[in-house]
Amino acid sequence: MRLLQAPHYDLLVVQLKITTTMVRRILVVTGSSVDIITLECFKKLYYAGRDLEAVGMSLVGFGGHITYPLETKKLSVRVGDKDNSRIADVNFLVVDIPMVYNVILWSPTLSAIKVVIAPYVLLMQFELDDGRVGKC
């Protein structure tokens, strides 16, 4: 277990199972309406990049750079460990840009899995499939 020194301004970064693969460096944030996965990560999940088509919309980053997502893909995501988890289908925008994070989870998924985030202790709690509370 990692000890936190307060005050801190660390971001909440977790690992989740997407399709059949554990994916690390998933940034959990609130305040937007899309979930993003990088093309590099998407290809590692055994999806062919050649099957992707442009979605006809753009994303604007903090630096003002415009990115055109390749496609929206629905992928199964498991939050939590095997015995204490919740599974949700997530619509990801696939983007071909280099990022530190493999995935960025935003409000749609967080709401769907009923997430509560405690930034002070870098904890994410969520409702399990059986109604209990899980954490990661």
Residue ranges of domains in the chain: 12-135
Coil, strand or helix at 118 = strand
CA dist 104 → 1, 50, 69, 122 (Å): 23, 22, 14, 16
pTM of the model: 0.82
Share of the chain above pLDDT 70, in %: 84
CA–CA dist 65, 44 (Å, integer): 25
Write down the pLDDT at residue 22: 92
Q: Residue 111 is inside which H or E element, if any?
A: helix 107-112
CATH superfamily label, 12-135: Acid Proteases (2.40.70.10)
Judge whether 68 and 58 are in contact, CB under 8 Å: yes
Identify the pLDDT of residue 102: 95
Phi, psi torsion values for 119, nearest 5 degrees: -60, -30
In the chain, at which residue ranges do the beta strands (DSSP E only) sit? Answer: 12-18, 21-28, 35-38, 59-60, 66-67, 71-80, 85-95, 103-105, 116-118, 123-127, 133-135
What pLDDT does 101 receive? 93
Angle at the Cα of 36 from the Cα atoms of 53 and 104, rounded to 5 degrees: 165
* pLDDT tens digit sequence for 7-27: 666 788 888 999 889 999 999
